[in-house]
Amino acid sequence: MSVDTHLSSVQLDIVREELEGQLFRWTRQLTDLETAVNDDAVEVSTKSGILADIVSAERNLAVVRQALQDVTELTYGRCDGCGLAIPFERLKARPLARFCMLCQRRHETR
């Protein structure tokens, strides 16, 4: 695995801090959802929606954890489409961005 990044250590710290905040929020939301789904006072018809939200929260947690791992391994910020560096401005606005703008447009038009 190639260990290189186009981001400075300061930029990586900014992104890491944002991702850790997202990790905290998703973890808290997942805990709240799990508590709600196990609450006997919650209607059975409501529980299916909560279960769907749990699946979504778990998926989001996995994405955030992978991004944090990529930051640690210094492989974060490369486009999944073309492999080029994703500009820091885009990553700062969307820390979970997987594509550069050109590949994102291509991906959306499929």
- Parse the chain into domains and list their residue ranges: 9-109
Contact of 5 with 76, CB cutoff 8 Å: yes
pLDDT tens digits, 61-83: 999 999 999 999 988 999 999 99
pLDDT tens digits, 23-74: 999 999 999 999 999 999 889 889 999 999 999 999 999 999 999 999 999 8
CA 65 from chain centre, in angstroms, equals 7
Q: Report in angstroms the alpha-carbon separations of 109 from 1, 23, 25, 74, 106.
A: 31, 30, 31, 30, 5
Q: Positive or negative CA dihedral for 85, 87, 92, 98?
A: negative
Q: Quick one: CATH architecture of 9-109?
A: Up-down Bundle (1.20)
pTM of the model: 0.85
Question: Is 109 buried (19+), middle (13-18) or exposed (0-12) by CB count in 10 A?
Answer: exposed
Contact of 66 with 84, CB cutoff 8 Å: no
